[in-house]
Structure 1
Amino acid sequence: MSKTIQYFFAPQSPFVYLGHERLLKLGAQYGAMIEPKPFDIGAVFAETGGLPLAKRAPQRQAYRLQELERWSRHLGLPMNLQPKFFPVDQTPASLLLVAAREEKGADQALELASAIVRAVWAEDRNIADPATLEELAGDAGYDGAALLAASRSPETQQKYEGFTQEARDAGVFGAPWYVVDGQGFWGQDRLDFVERLLQA
């Protein structure tokens, strides 16, 4: 029986960018279903002791940049370590992805997520800008204007809040976060452990 991976993520996260395509490849390789669940990481941080980047100690900020550079080089992924549009409000992009999942299902929403995380970390684009989101959605096979409108609906907001509550209930405190067989894994550097469960 194929497994399901619950994928809690924030589309502005550099570590989501580093792990996203690898996660999709694991899903395809093992026939696992990936359930994308964008959530409000700011709200979860506030409840679990996480700090926004600007409020972290300088030592932590410096080490983060070293890690991003290491992983970018290791994975062969192009990455601007200090993109023009970061920090950025993740809410518009998250709501767009929630609406995308409702409209065309998880797989196509994951493709749009690929474009959104790449836009931040490899293309210096602003994912809080409606025109940018509309263009990214159109390139991913959606009616960009219609999806943008759907992302602003109360129903989409309610679903987004639901994913955020699911994250709380699952003990999530960072992103990306993967849940397989009831086990949580924090960070793209835990994908090896996710693969071991998928192999079992």
Structure 2
Amino acid sequence: MQIDYYLSLISPYCYLGGEQLADIAKKHGATVNVKPIDLSQVFPKTGGLPLAKRAPERQAYRFVELARWSKHLAMPLNLKPRFFPAAEGVAARMVLAMSKTGGDSLRLANAFGRAVWAEERDIADSQCLLDVARDCDLDGTALLEAAARTELEVQIEALTREAVERGVFGVPSYQFNGELFWGQDRLSFLDRALSTA
């Protein structure tokens, strides 16, 4: 059983849903294909707006929802993290490099999300990337070197096109058996779909 997981490492909702996704996949013996995408390419094609261009009312309500979910899930979350938005390209390529080795790329992706939203760390900084990888018992130097490969940048572009072709318009999005689930608040539906597969 395969779950395609389209994400942005700096999305608070990817952070909030990441551990739940890991638990659901483990429960069902499913494999998670972690697929970082470039939202700056997704939004113009699907009618979305980057956060800074959204109406003030939407931006204000976003804080309300994040606080609710943080409390509901008992997960620490800084509503205005010091390093947000952060350039996530290198970190995303490290996650892809991890996938290519057959390692736990979901764990690494979740660690990057936690670094941004709970630990006030800058995932655009190389030392931070090395430290996060080390915290996951990974060879950060090797992953950082792999992230410099052009092929991984091309792969993120390909994954972004794939996401749009599959109907993805925001993150987190999960696809299982051809069915798309958008938002960490839809994980219970994904859980049910896996239960009946």
Q: Tell me which interval the TM-score lies in, with the shorter structure as reference length.
A: over 0.9
Runs of 4+ more than 3 Å apart: none
The residue identity in structure 2 corresponding to 1:24 is A
Residue 84 of structure 1 and its aligned partner are, at CA, apart by: 0.3
Of residues 138-147 and 167-176 in structure 1, the stretch that sits farther from structure 2 once superposed is: 138-147
Residue 95 of structure 1 and its aligned partner are, at CA, apart by: 1.2
Whole-Å Cα distance in 2 between the matches of residues 27 and 48 of structure 1?
A: 28
Q: Which residue pairs with 2:119 in the alignment?
A: 123
Matching of residue 157 in structure 1 with residue 158 in structure 2: no
**Contiguous gaps of at least 5 residues in structure 2:** none
1:114 to 105, 110, 113: 110
Q: Which residue pairs with 1:144 in the alignment?
A: 140
The within-5 A match list for 1:29-40 is: 29-40=27-38
Whole-Å Cα distance in 1 between the matches of residues 75 and 161 of structure 2?
A: 32
Whole-Å Cα distance in 2 between the matches of residues 136 and 81 of structure 1?
A: 21
1:61 to 56, 59, 62: 59
Residue 155 of structure 1 and its aligned partner are, at CA, apart by: 1.6
Report the secondary structure of 1:173's partner residue.
coil
Of residues 136-145 and 115-124 in structure 1, the stretch that sits farther from structure 2 once superposed is: 136-145
Whole-Å Cα distance in 2 between the matches of residues 58 and 14 of structure 1?
A: 18
Of residues 57-66 and 152-161 in structure 1, the stretch that sits farther from structure 2 once superposed is: 152-161
Whole-Å Cα distance in 2 between the matches of residues 163 and 151 of structure 1?
A: 16
The residue identity in structure 1 corresponding to 2:78 is N
Query: 1:2-60 deviations in whole A, cap 9, x for unaligned?
Result: x2111000000000011000000000111111111111111111211211111110000
**Contiguous gaps of at least 5 residues in structure 1:** none
Q: Which residue pairs with 1:98 in the alignment?
A: 96
TM-score (norm 2): 0.96
TM-score (norm 1): 0.94
The within-5 A match list for 1:36-47 is: 36-47=34-45
2:17 to 19, 22, 26: 19
Residue 139 of structure 1 and its aligned partner are, at CA, apart by: 2.3
Whole-Å Cα distance in 1 between the matches of residues 3 and 102 of structure 2?
A: 18
Residue 173 of structure 1 and its aligned partner are, at CA, apart by: 0.5
Q: Percent identity over the alignment? A: 48
Whole-Å Cα distance in 1 between the matches of residues 158 and 134 of structure 2?
A: 26
